[in-house]
Structure 1
């Protein structure tokens, strides 16, 4: 049972990535690969600040700023230099690898003996339950803020930019600024996932972000499938399904390991699972 509880906790930690991918790919239709680098950046910044005993209330804002800056740079390269967004993300992700390694000073940074979000706050006595409560509160707060933002005039302009950029530009909206802001927000959320998972697993690693975009993509695809089947239009329900997708994704991987699949094949299983989720709506339409 604790095996699946760990998967649930990891799914909640990855909620930021899922929300970030939802903003970049679902709202702006931009395949942002910066995710791999900004996720690691969030973990590296968290690890460095924790080992230097920086006050906890300063760490999260710093992580958000770092992730937001990475996303903003990708947006600037795409909008101002007219570089393909996929290539822009790859360039920033590649640069972030060196930046993360330089900042951390090593390939792996253990957090043994350092305080964390989950040890500093005690809601219940059981460690796993305490972590679960903290993550639930944290994720609900972030989701509520994003849902509120997307329902404001600014958020509606962001969503409209992804749906019809030319029309929004004709209405006087600066679409370049919207894209830069959207990518900054998406990568700030991704960095928050790095912030959470680093404290949850107790270390930061330079390779922790490799392929992490598939986690967010899989979560969003699961959510899109559920949204399509249920015909949901409410923003907050859509975001809730994105969070559910992140949890389901991790639970499926946990089930895969639990039934005896070799851990070395986990990435292959992940790719096949995402492929099935992507293909399912199309196969359903073909059958109909």
Structure 2
């Protein structure tokens, strides 16, 4: 794999690290299967691209993308909390609606950002773009990860985590579980929209279909990262999902660029499915092997002489 491909995969992995943070908040913290990220990722792309081409400051355009995407997450929570729609179905409805909204925002299915200023433009004077862009994106991801760690370690974050474990217990303590759901869904999709805005600016194009498979990539990052870096502490879990996103992208780039097994770019979804399946199956196989070894050791008769402690 060439240096250009490596740093390109690193950059994309860092961007999708923001998606992984959002997916972690919904799936791991709140225990909410949120599929609306397939719609909010291209929404971040669409809002940022449309605003930048309209002459709006790239940082302000990125903020707009985060807010609009967070609002879509709020809609998913509203459909679940207030309307009583099953969480999985509510997120699917939001995802479907977002596709049409994104086309409305852009006015067309895709657009180019070539020649437009982005949030990366002021940093281009630092050196070669191939090295600078992953550095800048990495700093943004690091700040986002720090924010999530501080949030989950706060009293409010503790309530949000407790809601995901046992919502009835939290409600019995007088806390508003609905508010935790609104907030978590909003901030999760805000991170996904942030990733979409960065994706549009780093790749200099926007397309309404760019969100296809986003949830699978986010899950792959979360599962793979927590398999590679197990741990119960919040900062370890957050580090794991970001590392998982980077490892996933590097693994895909290596598999596709090396021609291994005859894979092509069109096989990206197949590679993703295989990696997720392996990340799910391998830990279970390891635990099963450990249990069998422990049971075998427990049922094996001892041949030691109890009076001397020596073997017969």
TM band (smaller chain)? over 0.9
Q: Which moved more, 1:248-257 or 1:58-67?
A: 58-67
Say whether residues 1:240 and 2:242 are aligned partners. Answer: no
1:125-183 deviation per Cα after TM superposition (whole angstroms, max 9, x unaligned): 11111112211211111111111111111111101110111111111110011111101
Does the 8 Å contact 2:48/2:58 carry over to 1?
no
Residues in 2 aligned to 1:277 and 1:105: alpha-carbon distance in whole angstroms: 40
- In structure 2, the residue matched to 1:87 is 89
Instruction: Report the alpha carbon displacement of residue 224 of structure 1 after superposing the two structures with TM.
Output: 2.3
- In structure 1, the residue matched to 2:281 is 279
Q: Name the larger-Rg structure.
A: 2
Does the 8 Å contact 2:59/2:119 carry over to 1?
no
- In structure 2, the residue matched to 1:252 is 251
- In structure 1, the residue matched to 2:24 is 22
1:244-279 deviation per Cα after TM superposition (whole angstroms, max 9, x unaligned): 001001011101112211222221111111111111
Residues in 1 aligned to 2:125 and 2:35: alpha-carbon distance in whole angstroms: 37
TM-score normalised by L of structure 2: 0.89
Does the 8 Å contact 2:40/2:189 carry over to 1?
yes
Say whether residues 1:188 and 2:190 are aligned partners. Answer: yes
Does the 8 Å contact 2:226/2:244 carry over to 1?
no
Residues in 2 aligned to 1:103 and 1:132: alpha-carbon distance in whole angstroms: 28
> 3-state DSSP class of the match of 1:270?
helix
TM-score normalised by L of structure 1: 0.96
- In structure 1, the residue matched to 2:294 is none
Which is bigger in relative contact order (C-alpha 8 A, separation at least 6)? 1
Say whether residues 1:112 and 2:114 are aligned partners. Answer: yes
Does the 8 Å contact 2:44/2:196 carry over to 1?
yes
> 3-state DSSP class of the match of 1:198?
helix
- In structure 2, the residue matched to 1:154 is 156
State which of 175, 178, 181 in structure 2 corresponds to 1:179: 181
> 3-state DSSP class of the match of 1:117?
coil
Aligned pair count reads 285
> 3-state DSSP class of the match of 1:14?
helix
Moved over 4 A (4+): none
1:180-201 deviation per Cα after TM superposition (whole angstroms, max 9, x unaligned): 1101111000000001111111
Residues in 2 aligned to 1:13 and 1:224: alpha-carbon distance in whole angstroms: 18
Query: What do you get for the CA RMSD once the two structures are aligned?
Result: 1.1
- Please show how residues 46-125 of structure 1 align to structure 2 within 5 Å: 46-122=48-124, 124-125=126-127
Residues in 2 aligned to 1:282 and 1:123: alpha-carbon distance in whole angstroms: 49
Residues in 2 aligned to 1:71 and 1:192: alpha-carbon distance in whole angstroms: 13
Does the 8 Å contact 1:68/1:188 carry over to 2?
yes
> 3-state DSSP class of the match of 1:109?
strand
- In structure 1, the residue matched to 2:217 is 215
The gaps in structure 1 that reach 5 residues or longer are none
- Please show how residues 219-230 of structure 1 align to structure 2 within 5 Å: 219-228=221-230
